[in-house]
Amino acid sequence: MPDEQHEATGKGAGQTCHIERFNNILRQRLGRFVRKTLSFSKTDRMHENCLLLFLHEHNKNCLK
């Protein structure tokens, strides 16, 4: 991010809650980002595909 666009904010500003919420949803819905035993992708391509499918579904549901 260019320096002229970057603006530091404190925790009390509440400007990071939407990003933290998305990260929490990502961890809850995709076990492969949390642990390597039960839901583990053997290839980086499958890992990326699962993430892209999740993002597609999440964005589709958010627009409703």
Higher pLDDT, 64 or 52: 52
What local confidence, expressed as pLDDT, does residue 34 receive? Answer: 67
Q: Are 31 and 50 in contact (CB under 8 A)?
A: no
Instruction: Give tens-digit pLDDT for 22-34.
Output: 888 887 777 776 6
What local confidence, expressed as pLDDT, does residue 48 receive? Answer: 86
Instruction: Give tens-digit pLDDT for 3-19.
Output: 888 877 777 776 778 88
Q: For residue 2, what are its two tokens?
A: 């260019």
Instruction: Give tens-digit pLDDT for 28-62.
Output: 777 776 666 666 667 788 888 888 988 898 888 87
Q: Are 35 and 63 in contact (CB under 8 A)?
A: no
* All residues at 6 or more sequence positions from 49 whose CB lies less than 8 Å from its CB, including other chains: none
